[in-house]
Amino acid sequence: MKKIFVTGALGQIGSELVMKLRDIYGYDNVIASDIRKTDSDVVHSGPFEMVDVTDSKAIFDIAKKYEVDTIMHLAALLSATAEKKPLLAWNLNMGGLINALEVARELKCQFFTPSSIGAFGPTTPKNNTPQDTIQRPTTMYGVNKVAGELLCDYYYEKFGVDTRGVRFPGLISYVAPPGGGTTDYAVEIYYEAIKSGKYTSYIAPDTYMDMMYMPDALKAIITLMEADSSRLKHRNAFNITAMSFEPEELAAAIRKHIPDFTIDYDVDPVRQAIAESWPNFIDATAAKEEWGFEADYDLVRMTKDMLEKLSQKLLSKEIQ
Instruction: Give the catalytic positions in this structure.
Output: 141
Distance CA(55)–CA(102), nearest Å, equals: 12
Strand partners, 31: 5
Q: Are the beta carbons of 134 and 146 closer than 8 angstroms? A: no
> Which amino acid is located at 215 in the chain?
P
Q: Are the beta carbons of 222 and 294 closer than 8 angstroms? A: no
Q: Is 108 exposed, middle or buried (0-12, 13-18, 19+ CB in 10 A)?
A: exposed
Q: Is 206 exposed, middle or buried (0-12, 13-18, 19+ CB in 10 A)?
A: exposed
86 Cβ contact partners less than 8 Å away, ≥ 6 residues apart: 140
24 Cβ contact partners less than 8 Å away, ≥ 6 residues apart: 222
Distance CA(35)–CA(70), nearest Å, equals: 20
Distance CA(5)–CA(24), nearest Å, equals: 14
Name which of 169, 71, 76, 61 is nearest 116 in CA terms.
169
Q: Are the beta carbons of 11 and 74 closer than 8 angstroms? A: yes
Q: Are the beta carbons of 319 and 200 closer than 8 angstroms? A: no
The H or E element that residue 209 is part of is strand 209-213
